[in-house]
Structure 1
Amino acid sequence: MSVRSFFRLILPPRQKRSRALLRWKQIKSLATAVLCGAGTVVCAQGDPVGEPLSAIDWLSRSVETAPLFEPPAVGNATTPNVTVTPLDRPSKDPIGLLPSEVTGLPRDIWSGTAEAVLVDLVRAERVDTLPALQDFLKVLMLAEADPPLDAGGEGALFLARVDKLLDLGALEPAQSLIEQADPDTGPLFRRWFDVALLTGTEDNACDAMRDTPSIAPTFSARIFCLARNGDWSAAALTLNTHRVLGDITPQEEALLSRFLDPELYEGEPPLAAPARVSPLTFRMHAAIGEPLITANLPLAFSHADLQSTAAWKSQLEATERLARHGAVSENVLLQNYTARTPAASGGIWDRAAAMQRFDMAMTARDPADVARTLPDAWAAMRQARAEIQFAKLYGAALQELPLSGDPAVIAFEVGLLSPDYEAVANAAQEADAGFDPFLIGIAQGTPQNLPANSRQTQAIQDAFDSTPPPADLQSKVDDGKLGEALLRALALFEAGSEGDLRSVSDALKLLRSVGLEDVARRAALQLMILDRAT
C-alpha cells in the first residue's frame, strides 16, 4: 500500500475536505481583514511577529520550555514571577511497571537522594553501551520505587525516566508507563502524544485533547487532531486563525494545508525537510506522501519504518538500528531478515542472505550445513551489532549440535551471550572442549581463580575478588542512596570500557556487592566477547 493510499484510508472523502478548505480560504481573507483592521501587530509586515508556541520537539528539550497555554495578546506587558505548586497532586515518581519482586531492587532506591541529582544522572546515562547495561538501565527506569528525598508534584524524575526510555527506543514501555501515570499535565501529555504518533495510536491522544483542549501540546497538534476527529471545518478555521495571530509559522502552515487536503497541491514541488523534526511533522510528511528519512533522526523514529507499508530495506535498516539498543525483539529481527529473498547484494542484503541460509540450516538441524553457514551469519550479526538477539534465538540450540573447529568456538561464545550462559560454561568445562577458560570463569563467577593475560582480564578479575567497592560508591549505598550509586556505577563502567579499566572494576564490584551478580557477569562477558571499546 502506498503512502497516499494509506492517507486516503484515514481521511474523509475529498469532497468533504475540499469544502472545508474552501470555507477556510473564504474565512482567511475576512479574518485577516478584521484582525489587521483592528491594528493587530502581527499584520504589520504580512508575517507573524513574536514567538509562537514551540512545535513538539523530540523528548524534553522544547517540551520543557513550551508554554501550555496561549501567550498573552499584549507583547510588552510585564508579569510577576509566580510559582504554583499543586498541593493535592501526588508525585508520579513511585509509578512503575516492574515491582520489587521482579526487579530485585528495594522500593527505597531513590528516596535517599535529592531529585535534581537523580534527574541529572538519568539524563547523563549513555544509551549506546553494552546490552547488559542497556537492559538494566531499562529496569531502573521501569521500577516501582518511592519518590526522591525532595520530590515535588511535577514528577521531574518520572519525566526523566520516560525520556530515557524514549532515548533507548523503548516506545511501548514508555507509553505504558505514561498511561499508568495518567497524562494529565502538559509535559506528560506532550510525551504521550509524541509516542502515540510514532506508534500509530494517536486517536486516543486526540480524543483526550478534544475533551481537554487546553492540554494540546501546540496549535499544530490541535489542528491535526481536529482533522483526525473528522472536524475539517474546525481544523481549517483554527489553522487560519492562528496563522493570522502569528501562532503558526509559514512552514507549519504549508505542511498543515497539505495535510488537510493534499490533492490541492498535486504537482507542486515537495516541501523542504524541517530543520528540526518532531513526531507530528514526521507523521504529517508521511501522510502527504513526502516521508522523511529516519536514519538521522532520534532512535525512536525508526519504529515507523517497521510498519508493513515501509520498503523491506527500510524495515531491515530500522530493525538493525533498534536491535543495537535492545529496542526490538529477536523474533522481529528474524522475521524481517527472512521476510523476502534479497534482490541485490552487498551490505544489508548480504546480512539478510547469511541469516536466511543459517536459519534454514538450524531448522533442518543439519550439523554440516550449520557449520558451513554459522561463520557468515555470526559475522553479519557482529557487523549489525545484533549479537544478543542472535544468541537468544540460537544460543541454546547450537549447544546441542556436534560442531568442531571455528564453528564450535562461535557456538560457545554465542551460548555465553545467551540467558543460559552459566549452563553453557559448565557444560564446556565438563567436556574439556578447550574453550577460553577465562570466559568460563566469568560465566561461573570465578575468574579470580584464573591467570589474567591482559589489562582487560585483570580489571575483570579484580572485580570478582573479595575487596569491597570504592568508598565513594559504598558510602552512597550505606546512606540509603542505592539508585544513585547504581546510576553512577553504570556511568563508571561506560567510562572504563573506553580505556579507564579501573572504572570497570569499580562498577562491577558495586553491582556484585548489592546482589546484581547476573548483570555483572553478563556485562563482563559482553565486554570480552563483543569488543565494543571502539
Structure 2
Amino acid sequence: MPTKTVSLALGAFLLTATSTLAREPLAAIDWLNTAPPVANIPPTLLQEPPVAQSAHGPDITVTPLERLLPPVGLVPEARTGLPITLWQGSPADQLAALIRDVPVYDLPAMQSLLMTLLLTEARPPFRDDDQILLARLDRLRELGATEPVQALVQEAGPTQSPARFDRWFDATLLNGDEERSCAALTADPYLMQDYSARIFCAARRGDWPTAALMLETADALSLIGKQDMAILDRFLNPDIYEGMPPLPLPASPTPLEFRMFEAIGEPMPTTMLPRAFASADLRDIAGWKAQLEAAERLTRSRAMNPNQLLGLFTDRKPAASGGIWDRVEAVQRFDTALNTQSAEAVRKTLPAFWSAAQAAGLEMAMADLFAPRLAKIKLDGKAAVIAWRLRLLSSEYESAAATPPDQTRQSRFLATLAKGEPASDLAASPQEKAIVRGFAQESEMPAAQNLLLDQGRLGEAILVTMKSFSHGADGNLEAAALSLAAFRLMGLEDIARRAALQLLLLPRGS
C-alpha cells in the first residue's frame, strides 16, 4: 500500500543516507578531537630512569624518509621512560599479533609492563594502517581497561574509521557514556553497519518515532537478525511485553546487547562474561557487592587503580558475612589498625588481612596500598615476616631489603635479590639458581632480542622478552634466566627485580 511504501522508503533513507551536510557537524563536536581526563588510568611501572649499569642500543638511529605519524598515548614518555619511537622499525602485523597475544596472566610485573606499553605515547610503525592502535585498544579491552580504551581512541580520533568507531562505541556503552558515541553516529550513520546501534541511539536521544520506523524498515529488509529484533522490539515497546517470559540470553553478548537487556529489565550478570563487562558494574546503578566483585576482577588484571578498590572496600560496613564480605571486613580492620599506628592492633589484624588478600589474588594491590604505612610499624614474629614480604612486593622493595625480619637463608636471599645482586651461595632451589644466572654480571643479551635492538625495534624486543618470561614462570628455567638478563640489559632493572621477587613470593603470580 502507498503509505507502507513511503514509510519503508523513508526508513531506508534514515538507515542508509548520509549527505555531506550530515558529516559537517562532526567538526563542531569538540570532544571528538580532545580526549577527556580518565579517572581510572592504571598505574604504570617505568616512572623512574632505568637503574641497570648497561643498556643496549645503537649509537646512531637511521629513520627512513617517510611521513611520521603522530604519536598516540595517554601517558607521556617522560613518565614511562619509553621513547615515542618504541614501535617504529617493526612489521605492523607481527607487532600487532604480539600485542594481542603476549601472555601476562598471573604475572603482575608483566601485566603492569604491558599496561605501560599500551598507554605510553608512541608513534605507530611506518605503513601501519592503524594495526597497532587497534591492537592496543583490543588488548586494553581484553584486560578490562575500558576507560583507557575510550580515552585512547578519542585522542586518536574515533570517527576517522569504522574500526576505531566500533571500539569506541563498545567502550562508551560499557562505561555508561554512550551519549558521546551516539551523537557521532547520528551525525554520520556510515560509521557503523550495525542497524541495531542506529536504532538504539535514536531511542537513546528520545527520538522514538524514528527508532520505531528504522526498526520496521530493518525488519522488512531483513537487515537485523531475529534475536536482535526481539530485543529491540522489547526495548522500544516495553508495555506490550510486560509480564512476558524473559528472552534467552545470548551466549556471547555484545556490549549493545548487554545494555539493551539491562534496559528491558533483564540485566545479565557479568561474572561469566569477558572482563571488559565488569566495567559496567562500576556504575552507580550497580549494587555494592557487584561493584566490589567487578573492582577485584579488574584490579587483578592491573586494569584498575588499587586506590579505587580501597575506596570501595572502605565505603561502608559489610552487609553480611562470608565470601567477599569477610575480605571487606578484614581490609577495614587492618586499615583502621594502621591508622591507629598501634603495633599490637596491626599484629592482630595483619594475618587475617593477608590471608584474605591471598585468597582473592589481591596481594599486589594490597602491597601497593599499604606498604608505605606498614613500614612505619615495628613488628616481630609472624607479623614481621608477613609485613616484610608484603613490602617486597611493593615499589618499596629495595628499602625493605635493608631490614629483613630474620636471618633465614630464604630471607637473606630475597634481600640480596631486592638489591639486584642475588647471592649465588644462598640460592637453593632450581628457580633461585635461574634467577641468579639472570642477574649475573656476565650475562648477555639473548640473540633474538639482540637482533631486534640492532634494528631499532625496542617495543618488539620487550614484548618478545615478556613472552619468554611467561615460559620461565611456567617452569622453563633457562627462559626465566634469559628473560631476566634481557630486561636488565635493556635498562628495565626494576621490571627484572619485581618479576623475580614475584616468582618467589607469589603462587604463580597473583
Letter in 2 for 1:123: R
- Residue of structure 2 equivalent to 1:134: 111
Contact 1:92 1:181 in 2 (8 A): no
Alpha-carbon distance change, 412 to 252 in structure 1, aligned in 2, over 3 angstroms: same
Q: 2:88 aligns with which of 94, 108, 111?
A: 111
Q: 2:436 aligns with which of 456, 461, 466?
A: 461
Contact 2:416 2:422 in 1 (8 A): yes
Alpha-carbon distance change, 251 to 102 in structure 1, aligned in 2, over 3 angstroms: same
Structure 1 residue 107, shift from structure 2 partner: 2.8
Alpha-carbon distance change, 533 to 308 in structure 1, aligned in 2, over 3 angstroms: closer
Q: Give the distance between the partners of 2:69 and 2:507, measured in 1 at CA.
A: 39
- Residue of structure 2 equivalent to 1:417: 393
Counterparts of 1:148-187 in structure 2 under 5 Å? 148-151=125-128, 154-183=129-158, 184-187=160-163
Counterparts of 1:217-256 in structure 2 under 5 Å? 217-256=193-232
Letter in 2 for 1:300: A
- Residue of structure 2 equivalent to 1:476: 452
Structure 1 residue 155, shift from structure 2 partner: 0.7
Q: Give the distance between the partners of 2:421 and 2:272, measured in 1 at CA.
A: 43
SS in 2 for 1:265: coil
Structure 1 residue 257, shift from structure 2 partner: 1.6
Residue deviations 1:150-174, cap 9 Å, x none?
Answer: 42xx311110011111111112222
Contact 1:443 1:525 in 2 (8 A): yes
Structure 1 residue 442, shift from structure 2 partner: 1.7
- Residue of structure 2 equivalent to 1:264: 240
Contact 2:434 2:477 in 1 (8 A): yes
Q: Unaligned regions of 5+ residues in structure 2, if any?
A: 10-66
Q: Give the distance between the partners of 1:334 and 1:450, measured in 2 at CA.
A: 41
- Residue of structure 2 equivalent to 1:42: none
| 2:98 corresponds to 1:98 | no
Letter in 2 for 1:166: R
Residue deviations 1:102-149, cap 9 Å, x none?
Answer: 222233322221111101111211241311111111111122233324
Alpha-carbon distance change, 296 to 392 in structure 1, aligned in 2, over 3 angstroms: same
Letter in 1 for 2:414: L
Alpha-carbon distance change, 110 to 469 in structure 1, aligned in 2, over 3 angstroms: same
Q: Which moved more, 1:378-387 or 1:340-349?
A: 340-349
Q: Which moved more, 1:406-415 or 1:214-223?
A: 214-223
Q: Unaligned regions of 5+ residues in structure 1, if any?
A: 1-25, 36-89
Contact 1:93 1:155 in 2 (8 A): no
Q: Give the distance between the partners of 1:450 and 1:102, measured in 2 at CA.
A: 38
Q: Give the distance between the partners of 1:341 and 1:98, measured in 2 at CA.
A: 36
Residue deviations 1:495-533, cap 9 Å, x none?
Answer: 110111211111111111011111111111111111216
Contact 1:428 1:435 in 2 (8 A): no
Q: Give the distance between the partners of 1:92 and 1:287, measured in 2 at CA.
A: 41
Contact 1:190 1:217 in 2 (8 A): no
SS in 1 for 2:401: helix
Letter in 1 for 2:154: E
SS in 1 for 2:486: helix
SS in 2 for 1:309: coil
SS in 2 for 1:159: helix
Alpha-carbon distance change, 34 to 423 in structure 1, aligned in 2, over 3 angstroms: closer
Structure 1 residue 440, shift from structure 2 partner: 1.1
| 2:305 corresponds to 1:329 | yes
Letter in 1 for 2:449: L
Structure 1 residue 249, shift from structure 2 partner: 1.2
Q: Give the distance between the partners of 1:275 and 1:172, measured in 2 at CA.
A: 25
Letter in 1 for 2:95: L
Structure 1 residue 92, shift from structure 2 partner: 6.2
Q: 1:390 aligns with which of 359, 362, 366?
A: 366
Q: Which has the higher contact order (CA 8 A, sep 6+)?
A: 2
Contact 2:424 2:433 in 1 (8 A): no
SS in 2 for 1:292: coil
- Residue of structure 1 equivalent to 2:482: 506
Structure 1 residue 338, shift from structure 2 partner: 2.7
| 2:189 corresponds to 1:205 | no
| 2:170 corresponds to 1:194 | yes
Q: Give the distance between the partners of 1:271 and 1:453, measured in 2 at CA.
A: 59
Structure 1 residue 259, shift from structure 2 partner: 1.4
Q: Return the TM-score normalized by structure 1.
A: 0.80
Structure 1 residue 34, shift from structure 2 partner: 7.9
Q: 1:372 aligns with which of 330, 335, 348?
A: 348
Q: RMSD in angstroms over aligned alpha carbons?
A: 2.4
Identity of aligned residues (%): 44
Structure 1 residue 341, shift from structure 2 partner: 3.0
Contact 1:498 1:533 in 2 (8 A): no
